[in-house]
Amino acid sequence: MDKLSRRIISEKFRQATINHSISGLSNAVIGALLFLPRTTVATITKNFHNTGKQSGMKRGCERRSTLSMEHKEFINLKIDEDPKITLKCLVQKLCDII
């Protein structure tokens, strides 16, 4: 089996992993049964035992906007006035104000 990085584990595999863990099987045995790496099994079972949730962990983070609310309102206003406005023209009008 080829190694796949960041493979998404289905909920069915997560549930099976948790059920096997509850029944007392080791992470290595569960991994061999489900064709999953032992470390993946360990992560799934650890998260379940710590949080009680069987769903995957959310990845990534929230990204902050570099635009202020005033800039966003200005852009929305200009687009509402002229829906065919180009980005270049919009940037120019924004720079004129600042």
The whole-number pLDDT of residue 1 equals 47
The DSSP-derived string for 29-88 is HHHHHHT--HHHHHHHHHHHHHHS--SPPP-S-PPPPSS-HHHHHHHHHHHHH-TT--HH
The whole-number pLDDT of residue 49 equals 87
Q: What is the pLDDT along the chain (98 residues), one digit of tens a residue?
A: 455 455 677 888 899 999 999 999 999 999 999 999 999 999 999 989 888 887 776 667 777 778 888 888 888 998 999 989 888 988 888 788 76
pTM: 0.52
